[in-house]
Structures are given as structure tokens and as C-alpha cells.
């Protein structure tokens, strides 16, 4: 009888220890892509990139509620001609639009070129969803069509930085295996002869060009991942779901052992 009591107490103690370890809040993590990723306009008048779509997805797929991820791309002009650079980004599918997801998830979104901020949101989505749209659409409403970034001479470059952070408080189990897809596209056109390159307040002089505008004929639109950067956010991983199920099982086992 005494031996049975000792075993029962030991099992209960192990169950409680397991429950405590599983209920400790997970530490928020920050993930970054390779700082050497680049998109280059080369001597053959083509765009080329030194990374693959899967590499960006590998960074984003590590994210769980409370985490953030940063992707930095260097835009380079290796062409002999001075070039004008443009970009656009478009949401293909936001979290709230997925059939698997209920509304209410919140995440922040930051996009910059060099030291100039193109967009910075404290919270996108969540309880305070605006009439402008839901989810990531709120972050990209101001970035429709192609936005002028910079004029780059041969050998010059600039940096695009994209950061997405997930709110650890509002993401729930319904976000398991759901995706948000963001398409980022770059375009280059040869600058007119005699163009004066002004490096001060580049974004303050931003001009938006309609994609169908007769006046804009991008000399090259990046192909592959350089032209279409598909940002995939996997929220609430299967690993987290398994941990929650294990914790529930431990609680049930603990109650049974204590009887």
C-alpha cells in the first residue's frame, strides 16, 4: 500500500511538473533572412536574384504568435545606364480571407527603402480593423500601383526592408496552417538622358505610376522570385497544437492520479 502511494505521488508530481513547463509563455523570437539577398539589373538588361522563393518561405514559416520576421533585399544597378526603380506589393490572400480563419488576428507591418519609411503600422487587423480593409490589405492600400523608389547610376544600390510581426495575444487555434500571401514586384526603366539624380528626400518626391500608364514602359520587370516575392505567413504551427493537446492530456492524467 505504501509503495502504491509513493508511485501515485511520483506520477502526480511528474504530471504537475510537465504542466508547469508547458504553461510557461513562449519567448518571442525574431527571424531574419540572409542580409546578402539582392535583386540586380545586369548588363544584359535583365533582372536577376541570388535567392529562391523557398528561402524566404523558410524564414516566415518559423513564425508563431508573438514572433517577428525581417526580410532585407538590396537593389543593385550593374547596367551602364542610369535606371529608375519602382515597386509594388499586393496582397493575394490575407489571413482574414482564408476559409479556415475567423477575423480578429492582428499583426504589424513595416516597409522601408533605405532610411525612408514607405509604410509603418502599429497594428493591422485585430479588433480595430478599419473600413479601409482587413488584415494586410490595410497595409497595402497606400501602396497601389508602382511607386517610384530611386534613380540608380551604375554601381549604386538601395535596400528594401520588410518586417512583419504577429500579435501573440490575438492569435488562436483557428489560425492553424493558415496563410497570408503578399506579392512584391520590382520594375526598372532606363532613365532619360540628362537625368539629375537627387538623393535627398527620395520618398518625399515619390510618384505613383499606374501600371497601365502609357508613359511608363518598364524596361524590365523582374522574373521569378525577384518579380513576385510570395510572402507566406504560417500562423499557429502544428507543433504548438500538439503541445496544447499534450498539456490537456497531462491535466487529465493529473486529476486521475490525484483521486
Domains of the chain in sequence order: 29-237 (2.60.40)
Q: What pLDDT shows up at residue 188?
A: 83
Distance between start and end Cα atoms, the chain? 15
The per-residue pLDDT for 186 is 79
The pLDDT score that the predictor gives to residue 177 is 43
pTM of model > 0.75: no
Beta strands in the chain (DSSP E): 30-32, 38-41, 47-49, 68-77, 83-93, 106-113, 116-125, 146-152, 157-166, 181-190, 208-209, 220-221, 229-232
| pLDDT per residue as tens, the chain (259 positions) | 544 443 334 443 334 343 333 444 557 788 888 999 998 888 888 888 888 767 877 787 777 777 888 889 999 999 998 988 887 766 544 544 543 443 444 567 777 899 888 777 654 444 444 333 344 555 555 445 667 888 999 999 999 888 877 766 554 444 444 445 666 777 788 876 655 444 432 322 233 333 333 343 344 333 333 334 444 444 334 445 556 667 777 777 766 555 5
Q: Is the dihedral of CA 44, 153, 191, 189 positive or negative?
A: positive
**Cβ contact 205:113 at 8 Å:** no
Amino acid at each position: 500500500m505504501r509503495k502504491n502511494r509513493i508511485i501515485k505521488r511520483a506520477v502526480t508530481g511528474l504530471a504537475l511538473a510537465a504542466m508547469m513547463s508547458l504553461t510557461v509563455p513562449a519567448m518571442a523570437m525574431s527571424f531574419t533572412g540572409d542580409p546578402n539577398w539582392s535583386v540586380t539589373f545586369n548588363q544584359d538588361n535583365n533582372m536577376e536574384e541570388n535567392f529562391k522563393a523557398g528561402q524566404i518561405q523558410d524564414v516566415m514559416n518559423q513564425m508563431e504568435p508573438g514572433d517577428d520576421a525581417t526580410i532585407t533585399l538590396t537593389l543593385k544597378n550593374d547596367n551602364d545606364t542610369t535606371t529608375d526603380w519602382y515597386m509594388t506589393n499586393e496582397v493575394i490572400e490575407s489571413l482574414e480571407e482564408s476559409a479556415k480563419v475567423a477575423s480578429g488576428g492582428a499583426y504589424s507591418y513595416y516597409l522601408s527603402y533605405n532610411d525612408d519609411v514607405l509604410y509603418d503600422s502599429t497594428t493591422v487587423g485585430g479588433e480595430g480593423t478599419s473600413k479601409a480593409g482587413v488584415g494586410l490589405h490595410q497595409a497595402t492600400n497606400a501602396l497601389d500601383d508602382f511607386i517610384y523608389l530611386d534613380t540608380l547610376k551604375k554601381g549604386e544600390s538601395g535596400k528594401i526592408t520588410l518586417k512583419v510581426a504577429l500579435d501573440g495575444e490575438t492569435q488562436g487555434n483557428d489560425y492553424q496552417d493558415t496563410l497570408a500571401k503578399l506579392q512584391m514586384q520590382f520594375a526598372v526603366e532606363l532613365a532619360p538622358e540628362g537625368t539629375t539624380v537627387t538623393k535627398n528626400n527620395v520618398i518625399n518626391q515619390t510618384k505613383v505610376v499606374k501600371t497601365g500608364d502609357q508613359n511608363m514602359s518598364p524596361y524590365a520587370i523582374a522574373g521569378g522570385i525577384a518579380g513576385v516575392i510570395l510572402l507566406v505567413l504560417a500562423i499557429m504551427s502544428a507543433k504548438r497544437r500538439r503541445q496544447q493537446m499534450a498539456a490537456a492530456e497531462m491535466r487529465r492524467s493529473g486529476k486521475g492520479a490525484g483521486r
